[in-house]
Structure 1
């Protein structure tokens, strides 16, 4: 694989000392919190929950994806600390490909959670027909195949290149995007932002607008714990990934200007100075979910100890049974006084659960 020797250090994402230092510190914190946190969730679900609901399956996949990518942050910490790439071309391409795959998987799983909540609130009596564990497993499998395909540009346009080090006046290797044409820049980063942020969030916002509209029409207007938890996951993901996608759009904008344009130089300076920090911030979203779950299940910690996470999720195992009961009640003409204007009975209880 040929390496480009004409790139100057100022064009590299690891050229800024402050940015790389802050990025390395953020990733170190993410590694310490994210690895044990996400794998604790995986263990809690696999070892302690026999009947897994739709949302539990989605959370299991989300925790697995986040936990796996957290393990890989050690390579990026070393990269930012040393400000040069020492792991070779294959690792350069593979690690960034896995990062993009995780980005798409996380937002798509969160989108699926939001769609499921919308169906549960708007069509509670039809939920068992529309959303079954078998269908969800197929959808999740298809989603993983999709994210592996749409993340391919990060594999194609990433390479190890040589840059000139201003401090030592020598060459060093960095793992950077290596676009030969401006249209490749516009294609890759526009694809990331549109398919990995704008479109999923449009679906999520639509789902929650419909959910809130339905809640306002019901007699029981209190937001249940599961609604708040999933909404918190959505907000957290958006806050930490937004700066990354803003920098993507800065790079896309720079690609529209001629190479000798002062505007392009300014935009590329902003991009190269901020990329390390915004990428590190994006990783925080992968370690934030265990913290959210801990706060949501804090009432169980004293009573259940390390089993509190399973206790938080175990209420979802009754989801299918209760939906079948609701369906039978409707079929037999049996309705509670509030069944026409309220959420399902399970969601009127005070028991904290994710469903």
Structure 2
């Protein structure tokens, strides 16, 4: 949904990329939406008092649903034209939900690390502050979404109008570069740091029985990287090409790489909810238990 550059595609490769990306998006919609709804119902119906991990799960599932419900529009845009209002609105949903998902996963990694390494420090966090953290994640996601939404326009590609991001000025390119750093590389670095701290703690004798959180964070880091790295690498390549005024090399798979980020929203329900030990505890666990 961004940074597409079809000028150096032939019709065959373009059609193939569209078919593959549309197929992936359709599959993500059919699996991801019911899966995330199931996660929300599972948490709300099973637990009277959910802990902070469960709140993060709910936040993540809501973000993933918001992202996945836009997929029919993007599939339709492959077949037919969409107007500017539709382009802007659904782009805003995608950006906001994607950033919220990344922020929530990062918070989950940091939270796991604090709960294991500094339990007394986290226990001082009041419920009000925890709610502020959750609300702030959406506010921050909305803020990060603004540059992308403002630069998304309807562009004529051959005989078809498409929703694409316009990177004309050097200032916009710098903003796009900062988006990649803040939206992927910084969160990924935080996840790796949290994982390292968890692993280091879990290998200590006193904490070996709490090795499960380390395994969960390992899955988080690996899945996040697998599904987001291709899209971000292509984005960086296209930004650098725009700076240098040269042709892009990887743009022919940009649609497919973008589709992979939606797959992450399908995997999340199974990875974060049903693999989490906290969601299999007794129903009436307190907010401080995890």
TM-score normalised to the size of structure 2? 0.89
Q: Does 1:317 align with 2:282?
A: no
Counterpart residue number, 1:28: 26
**SS of 1:10 mapped into structure 2:** coil
**SS of 1:50 mapped into structure 2:** coil
- Return the index of the structure with the highest Cα Rg: 1
Q: Distance in 2 between matches of 1:121 and 1:223?
A: 8
Counterpart residue number, 1:270: 250
TM-score normalised to the size of structure 1? 0.73
Per-residue deviation, 1:185:
2.8
**SS of 1:256 mapped into structure 2:** helix
Any unmatched runs of 5+ in structure 1? 1-7, 165-170, 259-263, 298-308, 323-354
Per-residue deviation, 1:76:
1.2
Counterpart residue number, 1:92: 87
Q: Distance in 1 between matches of 2:89 and 2:238?
A: 22
Q: Distance in 2 between matches of 1:287 and 1:24?
A: 15
Q: Does 1:109 align with 2:104?
A: yes
Counterpart residue number, 1:216: 203
Counterpart residue number, 2:146: 152
For the Cα contact (< 8 Å) 1:49–1:310, is it kept in 2? Answer: no
Q: Distance in 1 between matches of 2:141 and 2:126?
A: 22
2:169 to 181, 185, 192: 181
User: For each residue in 1:122-158, what CA deviation from the matched residue of structure 2 results, as whole angstroms up to 9, or x when unmatched?
Assistant: 12234321x3432111011112111101110111111
2:7 to 7, 10, 21: 10
- Which one scores higher on RCO, CA 8 angstroms, separation ≥ 6? 2
Q: Distance in 2 between matches of 1:284 and 1:242?
A: 13
- Residue correspondences, number: 285
1:191 to 159, 178, 184: 178
The 5 A counterparts of 1:152-171 are 152-164=146-158, 171=159
For the Cα contact (< 8 Å) 2:40–2:58, is it kept in 1? Answer: yes
**SS of 1:159 mapped into structure 2:** strand
Counterpart residue number, 1:42: 40
Q: Distance in 2 between matches of 1:22 and 1:277?
A: 7
Q: Distance in 2 between matches of 1:12 and 1:48?
A: 51
Any unmatched runs of 5+ in structure 2? none
Q: Distance in 2 between matches of 1:119 and 1:293?
A: 18
For the Cα contact (< 8 Å) 2:202–2:214, is it kept in 1? Answer: no
Q: Distance in 1 between matches of 2:189 and 2:212?
A: 23
Q: Does 1:283 align with 2:251?
A: no
Q: Distance in 2 between matches of 1:231 and 1:13?
A: 40
User: For each residue in 1:136-192, what CA deviation from the matched residue of structure 2 results, as whole angstroms up to 9, or x when unmatched?
Assistant: 11011112111101110111111112222xxxxxx321111123324423422x122
Per-residue deviation, 1:21:
0.8
CA RMSD in angstroms, aligned pairs only: 2.6
User: For each residue in 1:287-326, what CA deviation from the matched residue of structure 2 results, as whole angstroms up to 9, or x when unmatched?
Assistant: 10123257638xxxxxxxxxxx995265793352x5xxxx
Q: Distance in 2 between matches of 1:38 and 1:151?
A: 22
Q: 1:53 to 1:30 in 2, by over 3 A?
A: same
